[in-house]
Amino acid sequence: MWKALKFCIVAAVILVFAWWVASLPGVFSADIGSYRIDSSAPVALLLLLLLVAILVMLVRVLGGLRRAPGRVAGWRGARRQRAGEVALQRGLVAVAAGDGSGARAAAVKARAALGDTGFVQWLQAEAARLSGQAEPARLAYEKLTRSAEMKFLGHQGLLRESLKAGRLEEAAQQAAAAEAAYPGGSWTREQRLALAVREQNYSAALRLSQSPQARAALAVAASEQAQTPKLALDFAKQAVKADPGSPVALARLAVTLRAMGKERAARKTLQKGWQAAPHRLLAAAWLEPGATALEQAQDAARLAAANPGHVESELFLGQTALAAQLTGEAKRHAEAALKAGNEDGRAAAILAALENRPAPPVRPAWRCTSCQTQSESWYCACPSCGQIGSFMDNASGKAVIKL
């Protein structure tokens, strides 16, 4: 509606202007050399307007011609930029797909179009890495570390290459440089943590760990390698604080308390742990190494009293009775353990020993919750999958105590 109205108004203005021009009175005369031009005023006015229009068009054409070389260069630059971006995108996809030759071809095209930018350098490095060219990859990553924006990726690549080659010291340096280039990154922290565990530097690993189970496992490992009994006790306390239900942490705390001469506190810790959830590690820490088998059997009853009837209490009593050659007691407790649901072979092993039969297979005590690897020994980090704090008991539950 508005458009139609606008058209009508414009048409009316043009008509009025044309009518006004046509009705102009007077004559226009001009002498140019030996020529004389005579015309009516309306025609002269129209010719003047036409001349002005031609002049304006001429000026525009000349300006366009003057700017043409710059425009052509700009158009070519934009085309090259687009080609470079497409090459980078294809290179990224090739890297994600693990296609080394595809990534290398894309890197060559991207470099030709965009020059030696940080992104292109990264693509070259990744292409070399995927193609198994370690030295060109290392050189490309090193070059990338000199880029203000991309140096983290350079250190990341060098760290991966060092780990792959087993150069742990160099890997630690690259991890520190990566942390400096991009502080607080979770990827770098995980790498530094894995590196510290690989170097068995558990106190450093503990500072980098966040999960409670991993912290408890690392604190136990740090306590085991501590230089002084006091430091060992401090780490053991950290382990129990991180995961109060961990039998490994509780047993470690009892051992370190005993090493500091705090026998009562050690026994109290084990009794509390046993009351909440009995575990074979707590039982092992309870027994005094210098005591006779009979003394140990009598002592076992004091711990078992904290959770009478529990399958682990019956097993503890049965095993210590067997060692002390209290055959009747051993049989009674082994049968009670079987009745209480023991199915990992420990109760059957007591009965087999009493009857001079070959011992049946006993299920390994520990299991990795990440890769399901079973083991007789507890590990801070799973030897199969490397997961920290993933080793859990293969049979019983957890103890929870408050310190």
CB of 385 to Zn ion, least distance (A): 3
Question: Which residues inside 27-56 make contact with Zn ion, applying CB under 5 A?
Answer: none
CB of 365 to Zn ion, least distance (A): 15
Whole-angstrom CA distances from 91 to 80, 105, 131, 138, 245 are 16, 8, 13, 19, 49
Q: 316: Cβ–Cβ under 8 A, 6 or more apart, which residues?
A: 278, 280, 283, 300, 303, 304
Rounded Cα gap, residues 345 and 393, in angstroms: 15
Q: Please, are residues 231 and 237 in contact by the beta-carbon 8 Å criterion?
A: no
CB of 99 to Zn ion, least distance (A): 31
Q: 41: Cβ–Cβ under 8 A, 6 or more apart, which residues?
A: 24, 25, 26, 27, 28
Report residue 18 as tokens. Answer: 């044309």
CB of 271 to Zn ion, least distance (A): 32
Question: Which residues inside 302-321 make contact with Zn ion, applying CB under 5 A?
Answer: none
Of 18 and 371, the one with the shorter C-beta distance to Zn ion is 371
Burial grade of 205 (CB within 10 A; 0-12, 13-18, 19 or more): buried
Of 61 and 385, the one with the shorter C-beta distance to Zn ion is 385
For 303-360, the three-class secondary structure string (H helix, E strand, C coil) is HHCCCCCCHHHHHHHHHHHHHCCCHHHHHHHHHHHHHCCCCCCHHHHHHHHHCCCCCC
CB of 381 to Zn ion, least distance (A): 9
CB of 214 to Zn ion, least distance (A): 13
Of 244 and 389, the one with the shorter C-beta distance to Zn ion is 389
Coil, helix or strand at residue 32: strand
Of 153 and 382, the one with the shorter C-beta distance to Zn ion is 382
Of 178 and 194, the one with the shorter C-beta distance to Zn ion is 194
Whole-angstrom CA distances from 70 to 58, 77, 80, 115 are 20, 10, 15, 21
CB of 393 to Zn ion, least distance (A): 15
CB of 197 to Zn ion, least distance (A): 13
Long-range contacts for 353-359 (Cβ within 8 Å, ≥24 apart)?
A: 353/322, 354/322, 354/327, 354/330
Of 336 and 381, the one with the shorter C-beta distance to Zn ion is 381
Question: Which residues inside 72-91 make contact with Zn ion, applying CB under 5 A?
Answer: none
Each residue of 93-127: b (16+ CB within 10 Å) or e? Answer: ebbeeebbebbbbbbebbbebbeebbbbbbbbbbb
Question: Which residues inside 350-389 make contact with Zn ion, applying CB under 5 A?
Answer: 368, 370-371, 373, 382, 384-385, 387
Count the Cβ atoms, other than its own, within 10 Å of residue 87.
Answer: 22
> What is the total count of residues that contact Zn ion (CB under 5 A)?
8
Of 146 and 363, the one with the shorter C-beta distance to Zn ion is 363
Among residues 305, 244, 308, 317, the alpha carbon closest in space to that of 280 is found at: 317
CB of 390 to Zn ion, least distance (A): 5
Of 222 and 368, the one with the shorter C-beta distance to Zn ion is 368
Q: Please, are residues 190 and 206 in contact by the beta-carbon 8 Å criterion?
A: no
Q: What pairs with residue 28 in β-bridges?
A: 39
Of 384 and 394, the one with the shorter C-beta distance to Zn ion is 384
Of 191 and 373, the one with the shorter C-beta distance to Zn ion is 373
CB of 187 to Zn ion, least distance (A): 21
Residues found near Zn ion in the complex (CB under 5 A): 368, 370-371, 373, 382, 384-385, 387
